[in-house]
Amino acid sequence: MATIVNVTQEKALEVKEFEFTYAGADAPSIKKLSMPIAKNSVTALIGPSGCGKTTLLRSFNRIHDLYPGNKYKGEIIFENRNILDHKEDLIHLRTQIGMIFQKPTAFPMSIFDNVAYGLRLQGIKNKTELQDRIQKALQDAAIWNEVKDRLKHDANGLSGGQQQRLCIARAIAVEPEVLLFDEPTSALDPISTAGIEELVVALRERVSIIIVTHNMQQAARVSDYTGFMYLGELVELGRTEELFVTPKEKLTEEYITGKFG
Amino acid sequence: MTHTQKRILMSRVAMTFSTISAVIGIGFLLWILGVLVSNGIDALNTDIFTLEGTPPGYEKGGLKHALIGQLYLVGIAALIGVPLGILAGTFLSEYGQRSKLAEIIRDISDIMMSAPSIVIGAFVYAIVVAPMGHFSGWAGSIALTIIMLPIILRTTDDMLSLVPSTLREAAFALGAPKYKVILQVVYRGAKAGILTGILLGIARVAGETAPLLFTSFNDNFLNTDMMEPMASLTVTMYNYATSPYEDWQKLGWAAAFILSMFILSLNIIGKLFLMKKKGR
């Protein structure tokens, strides 16, 4: 059994006996995994490639459902409901749980329209309201000063780091409860990475954050809690400073000291 | 001779042969264009665009009937074929994906693309012309639609598949329903490519003669009634060029020139779209 530290504060999400099997696979990629996700904090998921951390992350907004044949088992409790229930309204769920991808995913439209996309989906048409919320989102994503004079320009003209911050602005514009980050800096240079990390730390005031990262230093820098996963199971979940300094499990210790991975 | 010298020699021999082959290939193209331009421009005058066909021996005759007939035939084929092709391509890329049904449609469409166009003409003759009892513009447009469809379908499918799946996921992750993801994000990302497919599809059918010979047939005078036989540049060109009358032959050259320039420009515009897309 995994060593899981008691999350005393309120929980954003609660994973219970969760199993995930990809279409056509014999064995589940995630096996009977249970873990709490603390509210208004940053939880990092670390582990070697193929350990299932991205698979778990992509279950929280059920983006796996885009591809037929994937199977969920168990429960993920969010706002007192099991989001794995087949009656779950995925469109609504995804406005509550946003996602930032590994590579920046700016849509082929203007910077303004990119951020407006999610807002317009929610039926906001009023021009002043749109403008206000877009400005606020861009400011919160620390990119407003760089783009305020070219909101009508094509978003693909921005640098990779700027595009990633634009994607964060787009995601927070709809005011989600939870934000999922899937290795958000692996395609970025060190300076852009530092910018995104600062943003993650600042955002936890308002949203609960789960971040998948290959980079242990990054997990140590930005997260409050860290979960170490191995072969589809959660080995250890603890407060970040404790997990990295005094890991309880031998496997965790071996991984964070670089013995494998 | 050292090993390196041998390699350099072989490289030169290979380069010489491929250069010669390229020159021969391009040479024919330039030759065709040259003959077409010199004879075509010679035959061009304003009467071509303002007068209809005349019996041989009359001084003044034009191609107005064929130009307008061609526009009708190709235009209506495009009006039917473009939306059908785009919708079918969208089904393959966004809904069918790797499913068996989608793969079968892809294969059939590839076979259709290489089907001899005269076979499609014969097919439309059997299902449209024969029951109606006479040739008609509609039959011609239907034949052209069938030829155009697989081209637009496959380019749309290919171009939509090139849109990265992370872009779709990002739109879904914001809570977008599928049809909005396709209309607002995927189409936008594939715009230039789809437009190219449309232009190339139109260019391909604009040069077809065989399927029109026994569907829309021909008419030496202006007709805009799609229920009646209709003139086209290609069939007119075929009739005029093979006739023994010199003034008709001249009009045939003019028709060949106009048609070639039309198709050439469609192709160039299509390639420019694609280049613009790749340049980004």
Nearest residue on chain B to A164, judged by CA atoms? B170
A 144-203 residues inside an 8 A Cβ radius of B: 156, 167, 170-171, 174
Interface residue A95 vs chain B (CB under 8 A): yes
Q: Which of B120, B137, B125, B128 is nearest to B72 (CA)?
A: B137
The neighbouring-strand residues paired with A77 are A14, A82
Are B19 and B153 contained in the same domain?
Answer: no
Domain CATH number, residue B205: 1.10.3720.10
Residues of A in contact with B185 (CB under 8 A): 107-108
Q: To probe the interface with A, which of B160, B166, B169, B174 has the most A CB atoms within 10 Å?
A: B174
- Determine, for residues B175 and A95 on separate chains, whether the beta-carbon distance falls below 8 Å: yes
- What CATH class is the domain A3-105+178-256? alpha beta
**CA-based nearest distance B175→chain A, Å:** 4
Question: Which member of B167, B172, B188 has the closest CB to residue A63?
Answer: B172
**A103 at the B interface (CB within 8 A)?**
yes
Q: Is residue B254 part of a domain?
A: yes
When the pLDDT of each residue in chain B is averaged and rounded to a whole number, the result is 92
- Chain B's closest residue to A113, CA to CA, is B184
B164 within a domain of the structure (yes/no)? yes
* One domain, residues B131 and B177: yes
pLDDT in tens, chain A (261 residues): 577 877 778 899 999 999 999 999 999 999 999 999 999 999 999 999 999 999 999 999 999 999 988 999 999 999 999 999 989 999 999 999 999 999 999 999 999 999 999 999 999 999 999 999 999 999 999 999 999 999 999 999 999 999 999 999 999 999 999 999 999 999 889 988 999 999 999 999 899 999 999 999 999 999 999 999 999 999 999 999 999 999 999 999 999 988 876
Both B18 and B68 in one domain: the answer is no
Span B12-36, pLDDT tens digits:
999 999 999 999 999 999 999 999 9
The minimum CA-CA distance between B160 and chain A, rounded to whole Å, is 14
- DSSP 3-state of A18: strand
pLDDT digits (tens, 9 = 90+) for B195-223: 999 999 999 999 999 999 989 998 888 88
Residue A195, CA distances (Å) to A107, A184, A191, B233 in order: 21, 11, 6, 63
Tokens 């024919």, residue?
A: B28
Structural domain tally of chain B? 2
Q: A with B: how many residue pairs have Cβ under 8 Å apart?
A: 65
Q: Which of B168, B174, B188 sits opposite A109 (nearest CB)?
A: B188
Q: Do B243 and B143 fall within a single domain?
A: yes
Instruction: Decide if A105 and B185 are in contact by the 8 Å CB cutoff.
Output: no
pLDDT of residue B278: 59
User: What ipTM describes this predicted complex?
Assistant: 0.91
The pLDDT of residue B98 is 84
Residue B279 pLDDT more than 60? no
Looking at the fold, whether B237 and B118 belong to one and the same domain comes out as yes
Does pLDDT of B178 surpass 60? Answer: yes
One-letter amino acid of A49? S
Q: Tell me which chain A residues have a C-beta less than 8 angstroms from the C-beta of B170.
A: 99, 101, 105, 107, 167
Whole-number pLDDT of residue B280 = 47
- Whether residues B187 and B121 share a domain: the answer is yes
Domain assignment present for B50? no
Which DSSP state fits A64? Answer: G
Percentage of chain B beyond pLDDT 90 is 75
Residue type at A226 in one-letter notation: T
Domain of B172 in residue numbering reads as 64-279
Q: Do A101 and B174 touch (CB under 8 A)?
A: no
Helix (H, G, I), strand (E, B) or coil at B118: helix
How far, CA to CA in Å, does A1 sit from each of A17, A34, A57?
12, 10, 21
Interface test with chain B among A117, A163, A168, A210, by most B beta carbons within 10 Å: A117
Q: How far is A50 from chain B (nearest CA, A)?
A: 19
DSSP bridge pairs for A110? A154
Least confident window among B56-60, B188-192, B249-253 = B56-60
Q: Cβ–Cβ of A107/B171 closer than 8 Å?
A: yes
Nearest residue in A to B173, CA atom = A94
| A14-40 confidence digits (pLDDT tens) | 999 999 999 999 999 999 999 999 999
Whether residue B102 sits in one domain with residue B199:
yes
Within a domain: B57: no
* Contact between A107 and B174 using a beta-carbon 8 Å cutoff: no
Asked if residue B199 is part of any domain, the answer here is yes
Q: Which of B164, B175, B184 sits opposite A91 (nearest CB)?
A: B175
| Residue A44 to chain B, least CA–CA distance (Å) | 20
Q: Do A101 and B177 touch (CB under 8 A)?
A: no
Partner residue facing A117 (CB), from B164, B169, B174:
B174
B43 within some domain: no
In terms of Cα–Cα distance, which of A237, A223, A260, A249 is closest to A33? A237
Distances (CA, A) of B275 to A5, A56, B159, B195, B272: 56, 40, 14, 12, 5
* Sheet with A71-78, edge to edge strand ranges: A30-38, A11-21, A71-78, A81-82
Q: Are residues B138 and B260 in the same domain?
A: yes
- Tell whether B103 is covered by a domain: yes
* Listed residue (B247, B248, B263, B254) closest to B36, CA to CA: B254
Distant-in-sequence, close-in-space partners of B232: CB < 8 Å, separation ≥ 6: B66, B69, B70, B73, B140, B209, B212, B216, B218
Burial track B44-73 (b if 16+ CB lie within 10 A, e otherwise): eeeebeebbbbeeeeeebbbbbbbbbbebb
